[in-house]
């Protein structure tokens, strides 16, 4: 014990010393910097600003003159994005980053550039990188170890390429199924988002993100971005402060505690206040309350938009002043140096105080130092041998397998017999983009020819796994019939129909839709095939839950595969043929109707006086090829004192004939409170692997934080009273004493 506390003491001292040296280094640098150099550090430009036009690219996309202008004349502190909006080879990236940092070495103080990239489900913009299931799938695994491991691989592959800063994880909450970035979230539950987000940060950064294979993360998009009222990207959200604090802040709060040193701001607006002008959120809450000390970076062009779009600023000058004074430290300008010119003028005139500039620059320098950039700003080429290696691909496949939800399996139509005669049809059957979605190789992720052709589509993976015959008919594109009749004719010659529907890849505003119902052409294909009487296995590769109720009710099986990543088709085939026993659960409520967007944590009045909540598949739903039984929900005590916490245990038994994994979910309901409380809220979960007949007691510890909520005065409070604990159909009560 003594030994342990001595080690802890030495460690704490070392950490303290380290942060003191960082602080001294920051102070020293800031004291030597000119105003121009400081304003430059706060400026971030996109690659286009330093790049050659695509048709003039002679093998190396950087324009040296432009690069020198950016770094030597404008002193820019950060660059983002990829040339020509396309993934580049590791070698090209190594050359780009080395060239950029060589120029940064020519600056007076030799401050390296912080190069940022959206490596959102892996190294998006490095060719051949390991591209994991998207966040909505990671949420479905209920296995945060997979997010931790994916974070570690992503950081390593980014650092092998040469980039330092990852604009990830997305900590928005997916409670608006129309939103075109729904799939970028871990789903509708704030606890799931916090658990996966912090695990990812831990894997990506480790305990020291200056290590060669580690890198800083950027939480985004702070906050409330994910809940636009009309479902369209970058449109108004109306979120009261209580709900904001209850649902949209905790994932960021957890990520700040987990040590993410940077945060990107919400591109939209809440209650008429654009994210980038919101002093209350950016300073009073983020800094004063949550004690965040890192960089607040704007999203794309969003400072300009305070004037150009939102008209909350009367001029570009006012927009810059407003954002910087609200708390934005770095502007993703990104196409020019306007922010630099304007901020310089504002600072010279005293319209933005030097203290604010110094504060922002200090935060930026601190992250640069803590990232190890001042020691070594160059690509970590020694990691290239591990780039997309066998272990990373196996991890990716494991994650994909755990992320695909079996939502319906009537008469055990699945798993398929290996020698079954299968008709594969539908617009998502033979494309790689539908497995991956946006931020894959390109921003929209829909440039199919650029995908690594050695990876398998669903059709190819089914062909590879099948010992029978596989016939393919396209049927429809996403929204137009191609040869529905041919699909119907071929169906008669087969045992089973694998109907692959869903959405093309998309992201942000281009992914906006007018209607959540699946496109008519696809519904027509489904109806025609269902009418043949052959069993239909409906596979959904989609970024949000498109409404499919009539066809889902008639299909024998429904597999909600969402965006399972580059190994997703292999994982899906493993599940279809029974080589893997599915164990994912929906991290969102799959709507039955376009007016039925309730989340699982709905309020009592949503089911009162004739109101109903009736999703097609509820949050937490997911079938297996075996069966599990929960029993013996046990509470450590029936009465607990504040601060004491509550032990909860549940026995889970595999009552079927196959080995499998089951996630045990623990929910809580506060029986009476100052404000209306959800009927239940997820507080803990654990996934366990069980052989047939095996059982395990799964233990949890709930704390005061789990019993707390945002009260009438918009602060988090813990009140004495009765609570109900639920797991599956089991429930029990306890009292929290005063
Ligand atoms: C997105 C961000 C992204 C940024 C940089 C924006 O359009 O909203 O999520 O990090 O672009 O690419």
Residue 112 tokens, joined: 């390296």
Say which residues have a Cβ less than 8 Å from residue 265's Cβ, sequence separation at least 6. Answer: 220, 221, 222, 275, 276, 282, 296, 297, 298, 299, 302, 328
Three-state DSSP state, 315: coil
Phi, psi of 260 (to 5 degrees): -65, 125
Residue to substitute in 118, 184, 233, 296 for testing ligand 1 pocket (most ligand atoms within 8 angstroms of CB): 118
Residue to substitute in 222, 299, 309, 330 for testing ligand 1 pocket (most ligand atoms within 8 angstroms of CB): 299
Q: Is the pLDDT of residue 125 over 50?
A: yes
- CA distance linking residue 665 with residue 727, whole number of Å: 6
pLDDT at res. 18: 61
Instruction: Give the sign of the dihedral formed by CA 113, CA 117, CA 123, CA 124.
Output: negative
Q: Order across the sheet with 536-541: list the strands.
A: 405-409, 557-560, 536-541, 496-502, 422-425, 470-473
Helices of type H across 381-519: 390-401, 433-436, 458-465, 484-491
60 lines ligand 1 (CB under 6 A): no
Check if the beta carbon of residue 418 is closer than 8 Å to that of residue 579.
Answer: no
Check if the beta carbon of residue 404 is closer than 8 Å to that of residue 540.
Answer: no
Q: Looking at the CA of residue 267, tell me the nearest atom of ligand 1.
A: 8
What's the CA-to-centroid distance between 275 and ligand 1, angstroms? 14
Mean pLDDT across the chain, nearest whole number?
Answer: 97
Mean pLDDT value of segment 442-446: 98
What's the CA-to-centroid distance between 300 and ligand 1, angstroms? 6
Q: Is the pLDDT of residue 713 over 90?
A: yes
What's the CA-to-centroid distance between 118 and ligand 1, angstroms? 7
What's the CA-to-centroid distance between 299 and ligand 1, angstroms? 6
- CA distance linking residue 551 with residue 561, whole number of Å: 16
What's the CA-to-centroid distance between 539 and ligand 1, angstroms? 30
- CA distance linking residue 615 with residue 508, whole number of Å: 26
299 lines ligand 1 (CB under 6 A): yes
- CA distance linking residue 543 with residue 59, whole number of Å: 35
Which residue matches tokens 């045990």? 664
Check if the beta carbon of residue 736 is closer than 8 Å to that of residue 702.
Answer: no
Three-state DSSP state, 598: coil
Name the band, by pLDDT with cuts 50, 70 and 90, for residue 5: low
Question: Cα dist. 685→251, 585, 620, 704 in Å?
Answer: 16, 12, 11, 17
Name the band, by pLDDT with cuts 50, 70 and 90, for residue 3: low
Q: Is the pLDDT of residue 688 over 80?
A: yes
Residue to substitute in 114, 233, 263, 300 for testing ligand 1 pocket (most ligand atoms within 8 angstroms of CB): 300
Cα 179 to its chain centre, rounded Å, is 14
Check if the beta carbon of residue 210 is closer than 8 Å to that of residue 370.
Answer: yes
Out of 202, 213, 299, 706, the active site residue is 299
Check if the beta carbon of residue 14 is closer than 8 Å to that of residue 20.
Answer: no
Mean pLDDT value of segment 164-170: 98
- Angle 307-310-314 (CA atoms, 0-180°, nearest 5)? 35
What's the CA-to-centroid distance between 387 and ligand 1, angstroms? 25
253 lines ligand 1 (CB under 6 A): no
Residue 655 tokens, joined: 């009552």
pLDDT at res. 584: 98
Long-range interactions of 7-15: CB distance < 8 A, separation 24+ = none
DSSP-assigned beta bridge partners for residue 270: 237, 273
Helix (H) or strand (E) holding 1: none
pLDDT at res. 7: 67
pLDDT at res. 1: 45
Mean pLDDT value of segment 144-169: 98
Q: Is the pLDDT of residue 19 over 80?
A: no
- CA distance linking residue 398 with residue 384, whole number of Å: 22
Name the band, by pLDDT with cuts 50, 70 and 90, for residue 6: low
Q: Is the pLDDT of residue 338 over 50?
A: yes
340 lines ligand 1 (CB under 6 A): no
Q: Is the pLDDT of residue 2 over 60?
A: no
657 by Cβ neighbours in 10 Å (0-12 / 13-18 / 19+) ranks as: exposed
186 lines ligand 1 (CB under 6 A): no
Tell me the per-residue pLDDT of 622-658, one tens digit each, with 9 for 90 and over: 999 999 999 999 999 999 999 999 999 999 999 999 9
Tell me the per-residue pLDDT of 374-411, one tens digit each, with 9 for 90 and over: 999 999 999 999 999 999 999 999 999 999 999 999 99
Check if the beta carbon of residue 568 is closer than 8 Å to that of residue 530.
Answer: no
118 lines ligand 1 (CB under 6 A): yes
Q: Is the pLDDT of residue 704 over 70?
A: yes
Name the band, by pLDDT with cuts 50, 70 and 90, for residue 17: low
Pairing of strands 639-640, 730-736: parallel
Tell me the per-residue pLDDT of 510-560, one tens digit each, with 9 for 90 and over: 999 999 999 999 999 999 999 999 999 999 999 999 999 999 999 999 999
- CA distance linking residue 603 with residue 618, whole number of Å: 15
167 lines ligand 1 (CB under 6 A): yes
Residue 276 tokens, joined: 């980038």
Beta-sheet strands, E only, within 404-533: 405-409, 422-425, 470-473, 496-502
Is 299 in the active site?
Answer: yes
Q: Order across the sheet with 730-736: list the strands.
A: 639-640, 730-736, 721-727, 660-670, 681-690
Mean pLDDT value of segment 566-571: 98
Q: Is the pLDDT of residue 504 over 50?
A: yes
Q: Which of 120, 196, 142 is nearest to 587 (CA)?
A: 142
């Amino acid at each position: 014990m003594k030994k342990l506390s001595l080690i802890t003491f030495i460690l704490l001292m070392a950490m303290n010393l380290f942060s003191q040296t960082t602080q001294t280094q920051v102070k020293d640098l800031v004291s030597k910097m000119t105003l121009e150099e400081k304003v430059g550090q706060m400026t971030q430009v996109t690659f286009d600003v330093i790049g050659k036009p695509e048709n003039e690219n002679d093998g190396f996309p950087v324009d040296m003159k432009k690069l020198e202008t950016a770094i030597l004349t404008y002193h820019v502190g950060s660059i983002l994005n990829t040339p020509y909006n396309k993934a580049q080879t590791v070698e090209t990236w190594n050359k780009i980053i080395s060239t950029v940092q060589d120029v940064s070495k020519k600056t007076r103080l030799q401050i390296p550039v912080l190069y940022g990239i959206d490596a959102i489900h892996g190294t998006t913009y490095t060719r051949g990188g390991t591209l994991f299931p998207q966040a909505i799938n990671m949420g479905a695994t209920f296995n945060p170890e997979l997010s931790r491991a994916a974070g570690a691989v992503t950081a390593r592959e980014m650092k092998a390429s040469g980039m330092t800063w990852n604009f990830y994880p997305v900590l928005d909450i997916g409670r608006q199924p129309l939103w075109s970035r729904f799939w970028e979230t871990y789903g509708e539950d704030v606890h799931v988002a916090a658990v996966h987000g912090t695990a990812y940060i831990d894997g990506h950064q480790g305990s020291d993100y200056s290590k060669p294979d580690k890198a800083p993360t950027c939480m985004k998009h702070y906050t409330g971005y994910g809940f636009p009222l009309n479902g369209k990207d970058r449109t108004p959200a109306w979120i009261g402060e209580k709900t904001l604090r209850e649902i949209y802040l905790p994932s960021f709060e957890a990520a700040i505690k987990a040590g993410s040193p940077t945060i990107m701001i919400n591109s939209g607006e809440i209650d008429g206040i654009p994210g980038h002008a919101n002093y209350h959120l950016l300073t009073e809450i983020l800094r004063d309350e949550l004690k965040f000390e890192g960089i607040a970076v704007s999203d794309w062009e969003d400072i300009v938009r305070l004037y150009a779009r939102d008209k909350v600023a009367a001029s570009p000058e006012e927009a810059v002043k407003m954002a910087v004074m609200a708390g934005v430290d770095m502007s993703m300008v990104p196409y020019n140096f306007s922010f630099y010119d304007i901020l310089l003028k504002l600072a010279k005139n005293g319209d933005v105080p030097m203290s604010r500039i110094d504060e922002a620059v200090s935060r930026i320098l601190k992250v640069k130092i803590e990232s190890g950039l001042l020691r070594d700003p160059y690509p970590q080429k020694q990691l290239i041998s591990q780039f997309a290696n066998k272990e990373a691909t196996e991890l990716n496949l494991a994650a994909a397998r755990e992320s695909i939800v079996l939502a319906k399996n009537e008469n055990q139509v699945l798993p398929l017999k290996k020698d079954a005669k299968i008709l594969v049809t539908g617009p998502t059957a033979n494309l790689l983009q539908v497995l991956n979605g946006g931020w894959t190789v390109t921003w929209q992720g829909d440039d199919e020819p650029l995908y690594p052709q050695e990876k398998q589509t669903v059709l190819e993976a089914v062909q590879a796994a099948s010992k029978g015959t596989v016939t393919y008919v396209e049927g429809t594109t996403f929204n137009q019939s191609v040869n529905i009749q041919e699909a119907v004719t071929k169906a008669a010659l087969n045992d089973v129909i694998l109907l692959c529907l869903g959405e093309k890849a998309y992201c942000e505003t281009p992914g906006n839709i007018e209607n959540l119902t699946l496109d008519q052409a696809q519904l027509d294909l489904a109806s025609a095939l269902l009418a043949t009487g052959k069993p239909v296995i409906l596979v959904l590769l989609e970024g949000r839950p498109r409404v499919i109720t009539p066809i889902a009710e008639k299909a024998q099986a429904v597999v909600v595969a969402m965006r399972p990543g580059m190994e997703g088709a292999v994982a899906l085939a493993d599940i279809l043929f029974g080589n893997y026993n599915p164990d994912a659960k929906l991290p969102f409520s799959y709507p039955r109707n376009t007016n039925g967007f309730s989340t699982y944590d709905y309020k009592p009045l949503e089911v009162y006086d004739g109101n109903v909540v009736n999703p097609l598949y509820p949050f937490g739903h997911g079938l297996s090829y075996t069966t599990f039984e929960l029993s013996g929900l046990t509470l450590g005590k029936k009465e607990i004192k504040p601060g004491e916490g509550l032990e909860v245990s549940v026995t889970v038994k595999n009552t079927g004939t196959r080995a499998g994994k089951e996630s045990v979910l623990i929910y809580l309901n506060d029986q009476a409170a100052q404000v209306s409380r959800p009927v239940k809220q997820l507080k803990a979960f654990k996934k366990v692997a069980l052989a047939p007949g095996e059982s395990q007691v799964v233990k949890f510890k709930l704390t005061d934080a789990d019993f707390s909520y945002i009260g009438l005065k918009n602060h988090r409070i813990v009140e004495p009273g009765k609570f109900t604990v639920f797991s599956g159909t089991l429930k029990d009560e306890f009292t929290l004493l005063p």
